[in-house]
Amino acid sequence: MEWNYSSAEELSAALRAGAVTSVELTDEAIARIERDDPVINAICVPDFDRARLAARRADAARARGEDRPLLGIPVTVKESYNMAGLPTTWGMPQYANYVPAEDAVQVSRLKAAGAVLLGKTNVPMTLRDIQSFNEIYGTTNNPWDLARTSGGSSGGSAAALACGFGALSIGSDLAGSLRTPAHFCGIYAHKPTVGLVATRGMVAPPAQALPVDLDLAVVGPMARTARDLTLLLDVMAGPDPLTHGIAYDVALPPPRHERLSDFRILIVEDHPLIPTGAAVRAGVNRVAEALVDAGARVERHSPLLPDATEAATLYLLLMMSNAAAGIPVDEYEQLRIHAAELSADDGSLDAVRLRGMVLSHRGWVEANNRRELHRQGWRRLFAEFDAVVCPVTPTPAFPHGQDGDLENRHIDIDGVAYPYFDQLVWAGVATMPGLPATAIPAGRSPEGLPVGVQLIGPMFEDRTPLRLAELLEQEIGGFLPPQ
């Protein structure tokens, strides 16, 4: 039997039953990577020798009667996580030889759970793109169409899962970096509630791995089934043992419902700042129809939904103020000059991004206070609804486009060009208020490309969108291998 496309849950059952060994699973995964990855380029830093050693140890542990959550399961790790003995570059050529001495906290948790780490997956330079390519490791292709992107910044992980290179992967998400690659490659990913999962060691070189509480950004699980997302989130969740973990433990509430017919769902398929492409709109409606057919209460409008234009503005202000914090002083001064030249009534997203890059601390505090009002609005909405279904991005995976500056690129939506970064407003719907969001497959475009949607749930009620994802997988189907 071939095991490469089996779920982690299925592999665990087979290992417990003695139907396969971790060494066999690991050798099979490595053989598949060596056969198929030359044209995909998902695994940028293989670690096969240590993987085989970990597999032998996993089999020995199981023979002693041990049974940990991921014992013997082959997985991959996004390149941006520190792994002792392997390079962490974030795609930056000047750090091609940077090798951290300690594992990121999530790498440590994978190892403690018994996972076999096959290697690291490709990313864009500094993780700042919706595509995954860099000068060190090259371009990761979409397994469904090699001429298209696998997404970013966790594009290597999504492509690896779609190709059967390991059962699970871990990524990160600030601007859809878990959800967009999942949507483009036809897999599952979960952006946890902000602060739920410790991020120490998911840090750009050569910075020290400190237990900081990141604003907006999270780390999270990627898989080929919804149930595997929950399995991996249970391994990842919890505070950093150097700070909050000293006093706090994690106890996520159960999902609000166990049957689709009990869910109350708000469908949002349009955004005031960017159109939704026809293929993605069809995916959203496919999910909506399945919910209606299952007896769920489905609404398409609600006055409780926080204002989407203001939300996008706050998201870009908060995100760009963070992104610009480390730029050189002379570049920062030039940005301040350009921002001062903007017309006061220029509310374009380009203008918002520029203002965010030079946001004062006073301005950040004001934006953060407005964010809290949005969070209160979401709490009111989730008193009436259990989840929101909406797009991840306006289009399926787009053709590789690596020319020019990011700010000068465009995204084609049904034949009309829009600024490249405007598509991030859908990611910001969940990111700005810090809400959990699960990306799920929702069918195919007319060209045969995967199309996904995101299920946004209440803060710290991650199990609700995850359970909804499981139930929808049963209704509309889930991951299928690339054809």
Residues taking part in catalysis:
78, 153, 177
Residue 111, C-beta contacts closer than 8 angstroms, at least 6 positions apart: 54, 103, 117
Residues facing residue 412 across a β-bridge: 417
> Is the link from the previous residue into 481 a cis peptide, with omega within 30 of 0?
no
Contact 232, 115 (CB under 8 A): no
Find how far residue 193's CA is from the centre of its chain: 12
Rg of the chain, C-alpha, whole Å: 21
Quickly tell me which residue has 């989840």 as its tokens: 387
CA-wise closest residue to 186 among 442, 462, 13: 442
Residues facing residue 271 across a β-bridge: 274
* Rounded distance between C-alpha atoms, residue 319 and residue 82, angstroms: 23
Q: Position 205: which residue type?
A: P
* Strand pairing report for 450-456 and 145-149: unpaired
| Cβ neighbour number for residue 352 with a 10 Å cutoff | 20
| Cβ neighbour number for residue 30 with a 10 Å cutoff | 21
Quickly tell me which residue has 């962490």 as its tokens: 88
Query: Six-digit token pair at 418?
Result: 């829009």
Phi, psi for residue 222 in degrees, rounded to 5: -135, 145
* Rounded distance between C-alpha atoms, residue 173 and residue 435, angstroms: 12
Find how far residue 462's CA is from the centre of its chain: 14
Contact 46, 166 (CB under 8 A): no
| Residue 245 per-residue DSSP state | G
* H or E element that contains 118: strand 116-121
